[in-house]
Structure 1
Amino acid sequence: MKKAITKRLATIILAFMILTLCLNYVLQVHNARNDMYLDAKNKFWQINQILKQNEKETEQVKEDLKANCLIRAKAAAYILQYRPEITEDQEEMEKIARLLQVDEFHLFDKEGTLYAGSEPKYFGLNFTSGEQMQFFLPMLKDRELELCQDITPNTAEQKLMQYAAVWREDGEGIVQIGLEPDRVLESMKKNELSYIFSLVTADSGTTIYAIDPGTYQILGCTDGELAGKSITDVGVDPGTKMNQGFSARVNGEDSYCVFTDGDSVILGITESNRGLYKDVNSNCLLTAVYLVLISIIMIVSISKYMDYYVVRGISSVNQRLEKITKGNLDTKVEVETTPEFKELSGRINLMVDSLLDTTNKLTKILEAARVPIGVYEYNKDMKRVMATGRVADILMLTEEEARELLLDHVLFEKKLEDIRLHPVTGGKDVYRLPGEREHFIRMNTFSNANSILGIIIDVTEDMVEKQHIEKERDIDLLTGLYSRRAFYRKMEELFKAPEELGHAVILMADADNLKKVNDDYGHENGDRYLQGIAVILRSCKAEKQVLARISGDEFVVFLYQCRDREVLSAHIRELLLTMKGSTVELSNSKEIPVRFSVGCAYYPEDGRDYRELLSLSDHNMYQSKRNRER
C-alpha cells in the first residue's frame, strides 16, 4: 500500500511539475514582452519629454534674448542722450558697442536712415531697404514703440541677427542694437533627433526609430546606418497595428516590435528575440531543478511520515491542545488520519472558534462601518491578547510586531505604557505615537476582575484639523503675521516670566497714506501696500521677536531678550533704514514708496506691563505722526 501511494504521489507531482514548467515558460515569455512594451513606452515618454523641454528652453532663450536686446538698446539710447557728440566719433561708437557687449550698434535719423554706428558699411540703409528692415517702419509713426525683431537674416549680409530698436528720449532719432543669436541656435540643435537619441540608452540588440508618418522614412535611429531608409526595408510592415506589440523579422533577426504615434513622428523600438528571451531558458532550467529537488524532498518526507501516521497524529493533537491551553487560540487541530481523529479535531476547533467568535464579529462590524476603532481584551491568567484587526493598524505595527505583542499581554501593556509617555496637551486620553509622521490616538481602558478591556481610536484627522484651525485663527491671512488675538495671547505668555525678557521694546507702526493708496489705486493695491510693510518688519534681524497686525493699518513689533537698550535702538534704526529704501509694485506695475509712522516704549524703563507699554508706544507713534505732518 505504501508503494502504491508513493507511486501515485510521484506521478501526480511529476505531472504538476511539467504543467508548472509549461506555465512558467509561457508566463516568462509574456513578461519579457510586457516588460519590453512598458520599457518602450517609458522611452517614448522620455523622448517626448526631451522634445517638449528643449522646445520650452528654446522659447525661454528667445524671450531672454529679446529682453536683453531691448535693455541694451535702452542703455545705448541713454548714453546718446547725455553724450550726443559721440555720434561723430566712429571709434567711440565702436567702443560703446563693445561696452554694451553687442555685435552691432546703429543710429537712424527721424526718416529711418542709418547715419552712424559701429558698422560704417551699413551707413545709408534705411527702413525701406529690405524686408528685414521694414519691420521697424511703424516706429516712424509711433514714437512710443519699442520693437524687438525675431531672429532674421539681416538686409545687408543675410546674416542671422536679432535686432531691437527704441527712440531716443530727445526724439532726435532711433537707436538700434543687434546680437548674434548663438545661444538660441545652440538650443534649437537640441531638438534634432540625432541629439535626442544620444540621450536615450538602448541595450544591445535594441534599436530605436523615429519615422515620418506620411512616407514611413526613418528620420532618425540609434543605428545610424538605417537613417534615410524606409521602415519596410528593415522588415516592418506599416499596415500592422503599430500601437500594439507585434513580432516581425527585422534586419534578418526575429524580433519583437513596439511603435507609437508621437506628436510629429512615429516612435518605435525593436529588440531581437535573442536578446529579449535570453534569460527565459536559463530561468526555466533553474525552475525545473528547484521543482525536482522539492519533489524529491516531498516524496521522501511523505513516505517517512506514513510510517508514523497515527502516532504523530496523536502527538500533533496533544501539542496543539497545549498551545491552545496557553492562550494561542489561533492554533487549529487538523488531524484526519481516522474518522475519530477528524471528529475530535472538528470539536476542538469548534470550541476554540466559539471563543474567537465575539472578537471576529466585532472586527467585521467595525471594518464594515469603516470606523478607525480598535478593541482589545485579555485575561491576566492567559498570555494571549484578543484584539480586532484595526488595533495593529492604528498602533502602526508591522505584522511581525503585532504577532509578537498579541502573544504576550505583558509586552502589549508595555507598548501601551510607552505610548502613554507622549500625552497631547489639551486632549483628554490623547497620545502621539513616536515617529516622524504625526499620528494621534485616544486610549481608554476598563478593568473587571482579571479581565482588561481597552479601546483605541485613531484621532489623527481630528487633531490635524484642530491644529489647522488654530493656525488659521492665529495668523493674519493678508500679511502672514500674528493676528491681534494671537499677539495678546503671546504677550500674556511672555510677561508671565518677566525675568526672562531682558531688555525689550514695543514698536507700534501705522501705515502712512493708506487711505490715499486705496482711493487712488484701489483696495487691492492697498493690500499690497500693507504686505509691503509686513515684508519690512520681517526683515528685522533680532533673534527674539513677535510681529503682528493688530488692526487694519496698525502693526506692532515686540523685540526681547536683548543685551541693552542700544541693541534695541540699533534694530529699530535698521527697520527705519529698510523702510526708506522700500517700494511696492502695484497691479499697474507702478512702484510707490512704503512708509509708516512708528512709536516706541522700552521695557523695563518705560513700564513693566505690556498693556502700559502698548499704550505709550501708540501715543508716541501718533505724536510722531502729528509732528511730521506739521
Structure 2
Amino acid sequence: MQTLRKIITKYIYRIVGGAVFVTLIMVFVFQLMHEQNSAYWNAKRTFLQMAHILEENEEELVKIRTEYAQSCLHAAEAVARIIKGDPEALHSLDKLKKIAAEVEVDEIHIFDREGKIFSGTLPQYYGYTVDSGEQMSFFKPMLVDKSLKLVQTITENTAERKLMQYSAVWNSSEDFIVQVGMNPASVIKVTKKNELSYIFSLFRVNPNASYYAIDEKSGIIIGSHNLDAVGNECSDIGLNFDDIKNTQGWFYSKVNGQYSFCVFQKIDSNYIGYIVPVEYIHQNMLVMMLLIFLCLIIVSFVMVKSFERCMNKNVVGKIHNIIQKLKLITEGKLEERINVQSSFEFQELSKYINQMVQSLLKNNEIEQQINKTLRLALQASDPEKSLKVMLECLGKSLSGKRAYMFEKNKLGGDDNTYEWVADGVTPEIDHLQNLPPEVCQGWYRKFSENMYVLFENIEDMREEDPLQYENLKSQGIVSIAIAPLHDGDTVIGFYGVDDPPVEMLLHTANLLCIMGHFIESLLRVRNLVRNLKQMSHLDQLTQLGNRHALWEYVDKLERDASIGIIYCDITGLKRVNDTEGHEAGDRLILSACECMKKALNGYELFRLGGDELLAICSGISEADLWEGGRKLKDSMGEYGVVLAIGIAWRDDSAEEITTIMAEAETLMYKDKAAYYAASKIERRR
C-alpha cells in the first residue's frame, strides 16, 4: 500500500498536469478568438477608412465637375464673343484653331439654326446634326429655346468615342450655336481616385491582406488589389457569394488556393472584402503557446515542490506523529493524549481522538458496571427482584434520577411496571398506569425503525411530540434516554433513565441498548414463572383458585378482620357425569361458578375438588354474609344448578381458619342431606 506522501504527490502532479492542459486549451482558444477578433476589427477599421476616402473623393469629384462644367460654359461664351468681334473667323479654320488655343478648349463646333455643323476646328464633323447621335441630341432643345445654355456631363463623343465635356450657347444675334469641347483630364484624374482598385492600393500596408469589391447584384469582382481578378466572378477565386451576402461577422473559405479568414461589408452598392490567409493570422500562436507552456511548467514545478514541502511539514508529518500516539493507545496505554496544534483541523482531530480515548475508558467502566449489574441481578431470588436490581444498578451507574420500565397492557396502553428513584426523588409509578397509546406512539414509531430516544433537553420535542412533552414536563424531566424492549420482532415496551448528565447521554444510550437483551431475557423468565405459578394456583376448568391458591390467600389475610366462609357443593354432578357425560358435567360446574360470581361479586372464590366450591369473604359483616348466601340460593334457578351451602362467620380471623372452614363444611353436608331427603333422590346419585 502506498504512503500518504506518495498518494498526495501523485494527486498533486495529476491536478497540476490537468490544470496546465486546461490552461493551454483555454489560452489557445482565447488566443485564437483574439487573433480572429483582431483581424475582424482590422478589416472593419479598413472598411471605415475606405468609406471615408470614398466620401472625401466623391465630394472633391462633385466640386471639380461643377467647376469644370462652369469653365466649359464660360469658354463657349468667350468663343461666341470673339467671333462676334471677328466675323471672318466664323469661316476660317486657322482663326478658329487660334481661338481654341487662346480659350484653352480642344474643339469648337458651329451649328446653324437647323442644328447642323457648318464650321469648326474639326472639318470632319461638318455636316453632323443634333440628330447624329445620343451625345449630339443632348443639345437639340436649344433649337426650340434659344435662351438655353447647356453643359453636357463628361461622355464619349460621337465620332471618336473619347471622353469629352461639351457646352453650347447661342451667339448674341442668335444666328448660330457655338459648341466647345474640353478633355476633362483633371476630372478623370479625380474620378480615378474613386476607383476601388486604386483605393485598395492605398491599403497594401499588410502584404498578406487582399481586398476585393464585389458587385451586390452580379457577384462580379469590380475592384481588387489584383487587377487580373477584376471582371471575374467571385467564385472563380474561391468565394461563395451566399457567404458574402448572408454571413454576419467573418467566415472561412479557400481563396486563391489558401484557407483564408474573410470579412465583408457592404459599402454603397458593393461588398468590400478583407481576406487574410489563416496561416498568417496564426503565425505567432505557436511561438506564444510554446512560451506559455514553458512558463506554466516552471510555475507548476515551483508550486508542486512548495506544496509538497508544506504538506510534508504540516500534514504528513503531523499525521505521522498522531499515528505514533495511536499506536501507543492501541497497546493499552489509554493515559496517552494527542496534542497537535499546528492547524485548526489537527486541533479538532486531537480533541476528538482524546474524547474517543476518554470514551474507551468510560466504555470500560460501563462494561464493568454491566458485569456488576448482571452479577447482582442473577443473584436475586426471582426474576421480579432481578429486574428491580438491574434498574437500580442502571440508575445509579448512569447518575440518573429515575430508572423505569413500561410494558404494553392488553388495552393497548402503557403501564409503568418497575421503577427505581434516587434519594429525594418522588416516585411516579402509581401515576403512570395505562398511559393512552397516543402518548407514546411517537416513541414506538422510532422503535419500529430500530432507533432509540435521546434528548439532551425535552424542549426539543415540544413541536414534534407535544403529548409526550407534556407528560415528561409534568414530571419535571429535563433530559432522557429511552430504549425499546422486544419479544422477537414485536416491541412490547421500553425502559430508560431520566435526567442523566448531558455528557453521559451517549454512554447512557449505548448501555441501555446493551442491557436491553438481558432485560428482555429476564422478562421472558418472569413471564414463564408467572405462567407456571398461575397454572399451579388456578383450576384449569373454572380459572378459580385451587387449594394452593386458597392457602396462599389465607396466609395473607388480616387476622383482626371479620371473615365469612360459604362452602358449596354441586348437587347431582356425579349423576350428570354418568348420564350425560363429563362435558355436560363441566358445563354444570361452570354454571355453578357463574352463579357464585354473581351472588358474591368482589370476594375470593376457590374450587377445592370436583364438586366443592368455596368463597372467603374477608372484612364482611354477618348480615352481608347471610345476604350473600340468600342471593346465591335465589340465583341457582337462573343458572340451572343446585348447590348445598354451608355458611360460617367470625368477627375476626384470629381463630384458626381451618376451624371456620370445617364448620362451614359441616353445615354444607347438613344442607345437602336435607336436599336429598326432601327430593327423595338416592344419595349416591
Please report the TM-score for the alignment, with normalisation by the length of structure 2. Answer: 0.39
Higher Rg: 2
